[in-house]
Amino acid sequence: MRYNEKELQALSRQPAEMAAELGMRGPKKGSVVKRRLVKLVVNFLFYFRTDEAEPVGALLLEHCRVTQEEPSGFSISFLEDPERKYHFECCSEEQCQEWMAALRRASYEFMRRSLIFYRNEIQKMTGKDPLEQFGISEEARFQLSGLKA
Amino acid sequence: MRAMKLNERSVAHYALSDSPADHAGFLRTWGGAGTPPTPSGTGRRCWFVLKGNLLFSFESREGRAPLSLVVLEGCTVELAEAPVPEEFAFAIRFDAPGVRPHLLAADGPAAQEAWVKALSRASFGYMRLVVRELESQLRDARHSLDLHRHSSWKAIPSRCKPQASDHWSPDLENGYSLSRDCSPMALVEEGGSRPAGRGLAEWELQGPASLLLGRGQSPVSPETSCFSTLHDWYGQEIMELRRVWLQSAQGSQPECEERDRP
């Protein structure tokens, strides 16, 4: 799959929702924990060597699961292979909870579902489709039927 | 070998998964980054799928692996001149230095317009903007409803503040369901096609009726309670009314468990 690294690198420089130095270990057997600067930018998690400007890698956070791991860490795995986990170690339980909460809401699909939920709630309460005022009520990305696909 | 790693297998899996595509169709493409130039300059015709903020291309409609990915963040979409006549071209331009635009062309003017619209609204930031606006409108709508209900009561002390809207977030993780409980999202999904909206007048009629039917008075006195407590209490009532409505709409007890998903 071709993609433009420069586009992703530019994205990694955008303001982050969250950023911190965490311990990180990849899914390959025998991987060791390494110190990484980890940045959450829209639905991507970028990770950098702590002294470098360009990311070593990125995770697209769609169809992923965030799981707490003892003692104060969490893991990210993806739908197609739930046993293949990226492990992260935090400085404290509190930091761990903050990261898990942010990552669980990071995906575009979560945002889409939130939008559809709010749209339907408003419509039930007011009788009006709130998206009509923006002229976007017919867009495919905002339809409930998408959830049935 | 690439300098930057991406969870490509997961990205490809997402591209092919059942989650909704926001737009799809055939487009002609010229020399994006990494594409070998076609000898005649006529470009290459590929099947394109827009999912969220990601634009994927495939060899064909039945393609089982994406050929390319464009992440639609930090870019603009503009009409453009095609290298050959009779094409309806547009370009995806990035703000970043050294990134060449992606030049694409649709088969006709309607398709061109549809693609430009869809791609222009694909960014995560756009979706977030709409979500925040709807959150705000939902708060206003609930506030109006609450004010109407107890307009005959004494004024609520102004020191109380409305509760944050966090507790309204649907409890789904990124594509996964957290539990099989009867969550708001499950109820919404089980509603089927979009239900007709309810006017405020309907709520006015049902509110007092439900009180008379013995749901009981507010557990706290309005004179001594802050707004957020009343807000929560009325929220519960609205949830109850919606549940009743969904039951009558379906003619049976709705399934509380969410269906399994691929």
pLDDT at A16 over 90: yes
Task: Tell me what the pLDDT averaged over chain A comes to.
Answer: 88
For B87, what's the count of Cα atoms within 13 Å in the CB-facing half-sphere?
Answer: 24
Which position has the higher pLDDT, B150 or A57?
A57
A86 and A135 part of one domain: no
Q: Which residue of B has its CA nearest to A49?
A: B4
Contact criterion met (CB below 8 Å) for B22 and A140: yes
pLDDT at residue A27, as a whole number:
93
Question: Chain B interface, mutation test: which of A117, A129, A143, most B Cβ atoms within 10 Å?
Answer: A117
For residue B94, being part of any structural domain is answered with yes
Alpha-carbon separation of residue B202 from A121, B19, B199 (angstroms) = 15, 35, 6
- Count of domains observed in chain B: 1
Check which CATH number belongs to the domain holding A83 and give it: 2.30.29.30
For residue A42, being part of any structural domain is answered with yes
Is B95 in CB contact (< 8 Å) with chain A? yes
pLDDT at residue B235, as a whole number:
57
pLDDT at residue A36, as a whole number:
94
pLDDT at residue B239, as a whole number:
60
pLDDT at residue A118, as a whole number:
92
**Per-residue pLDDT tens for B176-227?**
443 332 233 333 332 333 333 333 333 233 333 333 333 333 333 443 445 4
The fraction of chain A above a pLDDT of 70, given in percent, is: 96
Q: In what order do the strands lie in the sheet with B68-71?
A: A2-3, B68-71, B54-58, B44-51, B23-30, B102-106, B88-94, B75-80
**Each residue's pLDDT tens digit in chain B (262 positions)?**
457 889 997 999 899 997 879 999 999 887 654 455 555 566 878 999 999 999 999 989 889 799 999 999 999 998 887 776 757 899 998 978 888 799 899 989 999 989 998 999 899 998 888 998 898 989 888 788 777 766 654 444 433 334 343 333 444 445 444 333 223 333 333 233 333 333 333 323 333 333 333 333 333 344 344 545 555 544 555 665 656 656 666 554 433 333 333 3
Judged by average pLDDT, the poorest of A68-82, A93-107, B209-223 is: B209-223
Beta strands in chain A (DSSP E): 2-3, 18-25, 34-41, 44-49, 57-60, 64-69, 73-78, 81-89
pLDDT at residue B240, as a whole number:
58
pLDDT at residue B146, as a whole number:
79
**Per-residue pLDDT tens for A27-50?**
987 999 998 999 999 999 999 988
State how far residue A148 is from chain B, nearest Cα, in angstroms: 8
For A84, what's the count of Cα atoms within 13 Å in the CB-facing half-sphere?
Answer: 10
A24 and A76 part of one domain: yes
Chain B residues 213-232 with a CB less than 8 Å from chain A? none
* Three-state DSSP state, B209: helix
A81 and A119 part of one domain: no
pLDDT at residue B77, as a whole number:
93
A68 and A132 part of one domain: no
Q: Give the domain extent around B51.
A: 8-123
Q: Give the domain extent around A127.
A: 111-140
Strands B102-106 and B23-30: what pairing? antiparallel
Which position has the higher pLDDT, A133 or B232?
A133
State how far residue B250 is from chain A, nearest Cα, in angstroms: 16
Is A114 in CB contact (< 8 Å) with chain B? yes
Check which CATH number belongs to the domain holding B81 and give it: 2.30.29.30
Eight-state DSSP code of residue B215 = I
The fraction of chain A above a pLDDT of 90, given in percent, is: 52
d(CA B93, CA B101): 5
Contacts of B2 (CB under 8 A, 6+ apart): A5
For residue A149, being part of any structural domain is answered with no
A29 and A55 part of one domain: yes
pLDDT at residue B156, as a whole number:
43
**ipTM here:** 0.92
The tokens describing B222, both together, are 């309005």
Smallest Cβ distance to B138: which of A66, A118, A127?
Answer: A118
- Count of domains observed in chain A: 2
